[in-house]
Amino acid sequence: MKKILIILTGGTIGSEVKNNIINVTHNNYLTKILNSNFKKIKFKIVKPINILSENALPSDWNKIINSIKKSWDNSFAGIIITYGTDTLSYAASAFSQFFYNFDKPVILVSSDKILREKNASGKYNIISAINFIDKEKIQGTFVAYKNPTSSFVSFFLGSKIKQINSFNNKLESITGEDFYKYKKNKFIYTKNKFNPAISKFKKNKFVKFVEKFSFSNKILVINSYPGINYKYFNLNADKPKAILHSLYHSGTTSTREQNNFSILNFIKKCSSKKIPFYISPISQKKNIYQSLKTLLNLKVQILDGISFESSYAKLSLAYGSFNNKKEIDKFLNKNNFFEKNKF
């Protein structure tokens, strides 16, 4: 009898509605789905946290991982982590980095509605995830998600997904494609130039979890928007371990030199305080805009070819795990789980 480790963390998939308010509950409707659909699989269920995912911190990812470490033995065929949709893309990116050398599938499962509601995607997602672990012989971190207008469940590489669309609840990868489709009880590989071939997946022989790996809460994220005023970022108190600044879709942000609106002055200020400064997302192209060239002249550090969520996850794990800059750079430059893309 196969065994699967299931980690419950809350989110919509672990919530109920009371007085028109959705919140996490301790009632496990999910167990009813498991018991009624899978008689020949044994589940071990652990609940390290029980929160809505918008409240999650990187330190909560550490709690989830610690619960997996305590519960894990090699007789498990894989791991399913239930998670909320709001920060799913960040969690999937984070676990893709942590489990990059793991030899079993790790699948994140969410739901667009509470499980008791008719046609809640979580029911399809959890059943598909279990079937994936039962039938497919591939390791890595994936997200199982049925989009609202789809007749199938998509499986995405955890390192490539974007924030779910606020208006249509659609989940996509940064390349616009899923990795697998679970359709009519069959798993169908989506072949395109962005998806790695099945043969590219490492056949790791898992030895043990990397004990020193830990996610840090001390990465400051700054988003680009017209009129951003850098005087409101106080770096004189408890300074962050690193700063991650987002870019617009063409790999740019404002380099207009105008007092507090200048990112150039802000970068120089960060440099004087020895705060590493990173920019993302960006894809390497032959021709670049002058504003990006101006940034590069200041020797900011680029996390190129990967999503913003993966950039944040890698920085959080690198600065939470290593003290040596060479080790941090080495980890950031590695393509751990297909997060790097060539467009």
197-232 burial string, b = 16+ CB within 10 Å, else e? Answer: eeeeeeeeeeeebeeebbbbeebbebeeeeebebee
User: Where along the chain do its domains lie?
Assistant: 2-200, 219-333
The DSSP string of 12-80 is GGGEEEETTEEEE-S--HHHHHHHHH-SSEEEEEE-S--B-GGG--HHHHHHHHHHHHHH--TTEEEEE
Contact residues for 252 (Cβ-Cβ < 8 A; gap 6+): 289, 291, 292
Q: Is 126 helix (H, G, I), strand (E, B) or coil?
A: helix
In the chain, how long is the greatest CA-to-CA distance?
Answer: 66
Q: What is the pLDDT of residue 210?
A: 74
Match 């918008």 to its residue by tokens.
54
In angstroms, the Cα distances linking 286 to 37, 74, 283, 291, 300 are 53, 47, 10, 15, 19
Per-residue pLDDT, 1:
84
Cis peptide upstream of residue 148 (ω within 30 degrees of 0): no
What fold is seen in the domain 219-333? Rossmann fold (3.40.50)
Half-sphere exposure of 189 (CA within 13 A, CB side): 12
**The pTM is what?**
0.96
For 278, residues 6+ apart whose C-beta sits below 8 A from its C-beta are: 242, 243, 244, 245, 300, 301, 302, 303, 311, 315
pLDDT, residue 207, reads 60
Tell me whether the CATH fold assigned to 2-200 matches the one assigned to 219-333: yes
**pLDDT digits over 112-164, tens only?**
999 999 999 999 999 999 999 999 989 999 999 999 999 999 999 999 999 99
Q: Is the distance from CB of 4 to CB of 107 less than 8 angstroms?
A: no
Predicted pLDDT at 29 = 86
CB-based contacts of 106, cutoff 8 Å, min separation 6: 78, 79, 80, 81, 95, 99, 140, 141, 142, 158
The top-level CATH class assigned to 2-200 is alpha beta
Question: Which stretches of the chain drop beneath a pLDDT of 70?
Answer: 204-207, 343
Confidence at residue 280, expressed as pLDDT on a 0 to 100 scale: 97
Residue 283: the pLDDT is 83
